[in-house]
Structure 1
Amino acid sequence: MPLQQLVEYFNDRLEQEHNDGVRPFVLENGAAHGLFGPIKVGSVLAPIRETLRSSHVVGHIAQLTVAANPVLTLQGNELDNLVNLPRAPGNSDSVINFDRLARTVHMLNYLPQSHLDELLFLHVDPRHILGVKADHGAYFEEIIVKCGLQTGNVAIALNVSNAYARFFPSLQKGLENYQRRGYKLALKFDIQSLEKSALELISRLAPDFVGLSAENLDQVRDSQLPGKIQQLNSLVASVKGRSILLDIDDKRGAALARQSGFGLVQGRYFELPVTSANKPDAGNKVSKPESYQSRRAV
């Protein structure tokens, strides 16, 4: 089904579900966006690459872009203030509705390249998982099927933080519901959240992917950091998953990925032109003055 027809189909569906006349999905310059109150959300699809063969893309992480809804006028820095407001913990319906809208936008924007047989990694808010009592993934499965794809094309990604540690049993049940429907599963951590309970969650869920953020890793003062990273990669391998070093901005992060045994990488470093400042090895000649997708992580 053409993208414009899918946009209209999902608008009709939401209009009927909520009976409020709101048609949130719009198509602009070939890209899908979603309107949610005073904001307009879109997608950036960030490639996930093989560490030792970074020209090979295995999937994309869908990242959210936020702008002002042109239908509503915001003054000055009102948008920044709105985005930075603390989230209301009790408003689970609003969280679920926004999460579903964002994931539908990402799915629509992924469709033009879905023939490449690459996974789409979609973040889900932990409050969404906690707010849905049963049949996690059923609603979104209907959207996936309507787009002509299968749940196996999608990896449900969850940012795991210590703030949700006491909810891990409930999160586990929800994520297992996604797994039963055929979704792939990805868990993302930062180094501070790699506590015993987080490692136990990996053991119990056996996710397909486990990501560690490289952001601010160079500022961590912990003599046991290499051991923690090795322990993480060994655990992921034991459950037959793949490890990803995420948010790599420079060649130090790329070198860490290779030296520490991460099988996959993602980050701005791999999308920038190769220059004398960031090429992997100053002693190797670069065959082209600018190479966007052939850089090896060393």
Structure 2
Amino acid sequence: MPLQQLVEYFNDRLEREHNSPLRPFTIQDDKVFGNFGQIRVGSEMLPLRETLRNSQIAGYAAHIHVTGILGADLTRHESDSLKKLPIEQTSDTEAIISFDRLTRTVHMLNYLPQSHLDDLLILDVDPRHILGVKADHGAYFEEIIIKCGLKTRNVAIGLKINNEYARVYPSLLKGLYNYQNRGYRVALKFDYFSLDKSAFELISRASPDLVAMSSQHLDSIRDNRLPEKLNQLCQLVSSMEGCSVMLGIDDKRNATLARQMGFNLVQGAYFEAESFDLISEGL
């Protein structure tokens, strides 16, 4: 189905669901956007490349781009404030779920023109969405995926984990199991500071298809155990036949670190720079 028809289909669907003239999805210059209150949501597709063959793209990670409804970029604080409400703040659960679903629909529609049969798309899901939905996680979005001509196995549910959520890991695991039972893949995402004992236990229990590690702050971390912990992470993921990913690589140092520690996939501006020879495998 052409992209414009899909946009109209999902607008019609939301109009019926909410019994209101709510038509949030628009298309401009062959890109899909979604309006939510006073903000406009767009997508950026970040290629996931094989570490030892950088020219080979294994899939994409969807990155949200948020602007004001009139097109002005929001400040980092304004953008982040949408995603950092306390876990206890349940009054906005429905808004969180609605925003999460709208964002993933925008990403899915923008992914279609470059999708291939076996490619993978990582779509982040707000942990509060998983906590807010009590059962049948993924059922609503499965209908969207099928309408777009793809299957749930093409989608990895990305979950950013930090220490704040440690006490609700059992509830998050229950939600992740529901996604996995519907054929979705799962991608757990960490930064170095959240890579503690409970994180390794969560990985072991969830058996995710992918475990992603942010390269942010790695250059400034003074921890003699850093190589050991990263290597331990990669070995654990490998033992479960999963795929380890290092995200946000901007320089040669972290590209080399990813290769030396055994990460399977890499992502970052370093690999997309025009000066980088994707045919060359020398890091």
TM-score, normalised relative to structure 2? 0.94
Q: Is 1:294–2:279 an aligned residue pair? A: yes
C-alpha change, 1:296 and 1:146, in structure 2 (3 Å) is same
Counterparts of residues 269-284 of structure 1 (less than 5 Å): 269-274=270-275
- How big is the shift at 1:115? 2.8
Please, which runs of 5 or more residues in structure 1 have no aligned partner? 280-290
Q: Percent identity?
A: 58
Counterparts of residues 1-298 of structure 1 (less than 5 Å): 1-70=1-70, 79-80=74-75, 82-85=78-81, 87=85, 89-90=89-90, 91-115=92-116, 117-274=118-275, 291=277, 293-296=278-281, 298=283
Give a deviation string over 1:156-211, Cα, whole Å, max 9, x none: 11001001000100000000100000001111111111111111111111111101
**Secondary structure, counterpart of 1:262 in structure 2:** coil
- How big is the shift at 1:84? 4.6
Amino acid at match of 2:47: P
C-alpha change, 1:297 and 1:214, in structure 2 (3 Å) is farther
The residue that corresponds to 1:285 in the other structure is none
Q: How many residues align?
A: 277
Distance 1:130 1:6 in 2: 29
**Secondary structure, counterpart of 1:115 in structure 2:** coil
Distance 2:227 2:160 in 1: 22
**Secondary structure, counterpart of 2:279 in structure 1:** coil
Please, which runs of 5 or more residues in structure 2 have no aligned partner? none
Amino acid at match of 2:2: P
Amino acid at match of 1:194: L
- How big is the shift at 1:294? 3.2
Distance 1:202 1:244 in 2: 14
- How big is the shift at 1:116? 5.4
Amino acid at match of 1:51: T
- How big is the shift at 1:128? 0.3
Amino acid at match of 2:5: Q
C-alpha change, 1:295 and 1:185, in structure 2 (3 Å) is farther
Query: What do you get for the CA RMSD once the two structures are aligned?
Result: 1.6
Question: Over alpha carbons, which structure has the higher Rg?
Answer: 1
**Secondary structure, counterpart of 1:192 in structure 2:** helix
**Secondary structure, counterpart of 1:122 in structure 2:** strand
